[in-house]
Structure 1
Amino acid sequence: MSAADPTRVQTEEQNIVNPILVQEQHVPGRDVEEKFEVARSWGFDGLELRGQGDFALEKRLPELRRAHANGVVMPTVCVEMLHFVGAFDRDLAEDAVRQMTSQLTVMAELDGVGAMTPASYGMFSRRLPPFEPPRSPEDDQAQLVDAFGRLAEHAASVGTHILLEPLNRYEDHMVNSIAQGVALCSEVGNPAFRLAPDTYHMNIEEADPARSLADAIEFIAHVQASDSNRLEPGAGHVDFALEMSTLRAAGYTGPVAIESRLSGAADVLLPTVPPLLRRYLA
């Protein structure tokens, strides 16, 4: 990765500004190389990996090393586990830290931008009964500062980033907005800890999504894109023209990955997405 901008994705042939990625589960293929070729035929620059629990990403290292050597662009991994670093149960939280540490080591070996995780997902919402979580806000914060601090130290030591994705108020009670993510990054105080905002969650949480992106740009190392209904960009009412052009104007050069459900067949819908985003990022 470039020393001047560690979020810019490099291959031997090119230095890609704002690579547009598609998550690997949406693309057919017997292996990562075949998926990459299909993704490129659909107009994408690369793949976003999915990182399941039980050290599944680490177990894929032989395949991923081969793909990396063959020029496959896969700069990020999105966690896909049942528990996360903000878990109320201490053993589960520590397991999540171990899992993310492993994923960071893998992404560093692949010269990746980083591995992303929310604080938690589906564990508790202050907008649903019983409304008050079993842990105080102060203890929530202490746990996240400790967990992300340790992960950031490891990420820095291997040369990649731990990426926090703020989730909406119905999916997490701890970090919902970009501003809350910035505050946590500032408290941890390690540049290997950065944000991965998602346009779907922003549509719920941000009064002015473009302004929130612009204000936090120095903390953003990755962006997830899906529409207001959690479908592919273009299927809802997110203002991608404004949000993508805001990223461009602010000098953002990192990846943009499609993290969405699909309203129809992948081979029909997904090729429409890169042109939609690229016209405002270019």
Structure 2
Amino acid sequence: MRLAVQERLLPGRTLQERFGFAVEAGFDAVELRGEGDLRFAGRRAELRRALADGVVMPVVAADLPHLVGDPDPGGREEAVRQLCSQLEVIGELGGLGVTTPVSRSRPPRPPGHDREALARALGTLGEHAARHGVLIMLEPLNRYEDHLVNTLAQAVDLCSMDSVRVAGNTFHMNIEEDDPCRSLAEAAPCLAHMRIGESNHHQPGTGHLDWAAQLGTLSAIGYEGHLALDCDLRGDPEAVLPRTSAFVRKFL
């Protein structure tokens, strides 16, 4: 397993500077942020320069106003358009793919309505991801943030294509999974990426998660992807990030 860190957490003006800091702090890669309005595609020149300079950027974490499980057809179509663009760009960079939540919390709707629409959207995204040699990875969020997909098992149920996979998140798992280690083991065939943060959404080591057990489970199931730090930092990044990478590496 390798360590990555979300680019928004890193000091520096350029990706090259941020990656340089990340490496010095004990990380191996930068997880990119994929904003809406096709802004990620607008970064193509910047990303290509960074790649040429050796910046390791395996995954894009989508940060979009609309998601693939949006009950509004227009919002859903916009999410698919944005994600298709991000899949194309990360494919050009030789990356793994794009992670995305499925929906936002909202008042209950007729049973099955949103899931049917979600399945259609994922079919489109899965085909697009396959064409570009990358993955679309579904990230379950807790019940207060997502009304459709809260557990790894629910995300696995949506993996009807080889190009649709799962991204776990330890913060959300702490809220939703009865047994996080068992859930990781059961999701193993579809688990392509992991995002890490504490039970309190701060950096690992500040809460009550059993890192030895969860990271040990990932090792036992043969997970070889990245552990991408994405949380609120308690303290200055210059001090916090080196301590955090050292803390996590104790369990790898």
TM-score range, shorter chain: over 0.9
Is the contact between residue 248 and residue 280 of structure 1 (CA under 8 Å) also seen in structure 2?
Answer: no
Which whole-Å CA distance do the structure 2 matches of 1:202 and 1:181 have between them? 12
Q: Quick one: distance in 1 between partners of 2:46 and 2:55?
A: 11
Does the CA-based 8 Å contact 2:101-2:139 persist in structure 1? yes
**Residue 212 of structure 1 pairs with residue 183 of structure 2:** yes
Match of 1:69? 52
One-letter amino acid of the counterpart of residue 100, structure 2 = T
Q: Supply the distance in 1 between the matched residues of 2:89 and 2:40 (Cα, whole angstroms).
A: 7
Structure 2 CA distance for aligned equivalents of residues 50 and 101 of structure 1: 15
1:92 and 2:63 matched = no
Residue of structure 1 in register with 2:136 after alignment: 162
Distance 1:140 1:238 in 2: 32
Number of the residue aligned with 1:140: 114
Counterpart for residue 7 of structure 1: none
Cα distance in structure 2, aligned partners of 1:218 and 1:275: 28
User: What SS does structure 2 have at the residue aligned with 1:227?
Assistant: coil
- SS of aligned partner of 2:248: helix
Residue among 74, 93, 99 paired with 1:116:
99
- Report the residue type matching 1:215 in the other structure: E
Unaligned 5+ runs, structure 2: none
SS in 1 for 2:148: coil
Task: Give 1:257's match in structure 2, choosing from 205, 228, 242.
Answer: 228
Tell me the alpha carbon deviations over residues 57-115 of structure 1, each in whole angstroms, 9 at most, x when there is no partner: 10000010111122110101111122211112111110010000000001111111110
1:231 aligns with 2:202: yes
- State the shift of 1:137 in Å: 2.9
- 2:34 equivalent in structure 1: 51
**Deviation string, structure 1 residues 210-242 (Cα, Å, up to 9, x no partner):** 110011101000000000011111111111111
Conservation of the 8 A alpha-carbon contact between 1:51 and 1:103: yes
Superposition CA RMSD, Å: 1.0
Distance 2:114 2:247 in 1: 38
Counterpart secondary structure, 1:222: strand
Task: Please give the alpha-carbon distance, in whole angstroms, between the structure 2 residues aligned to 1:149 and 1:279.
Answer: 40
Is this contact kept in 1: 2:70–2:114, CA < 8 A?
no
Shift of 1:277: 2.0
1:275 CA displacement: 2.1
Could you list the structure 1 runs, at least 4 aligned residues long, displaced by more than 3 angstroms after superposition.
none
Deviation at 1:26, TM superposition (A): 1.1
- Does the aligned pair in 1 maintain the 2:69–2:115 contact within 8 Å? no
How many matched pairs? Answer: 252
Q: Which amino acid aligns with 1:141?
A: R
The DSSP-based 3-state class of the residue aligned with 1:197 is strand
Is 1:279 the counterpart of 2:250? The answer is: yes
TM-score of the superposition, structure 2-length normalised?
A: 0.97
In the aligned structure 1, how far is the partner of 2:247 from the partner of 2:184? 19
Distance 1:190 1:171 in 2: 25
Q: Which whole-Å CA distance do the structure 1 matches of 2:233 and 2:92 have between them?
A: 31
TM-score, structure 1 normalization: 0.87
- Measured in 2, the distance between the counterparts of 1:214 and 1:99 equals 32
Distance 2:11 2:198 in 1: 23
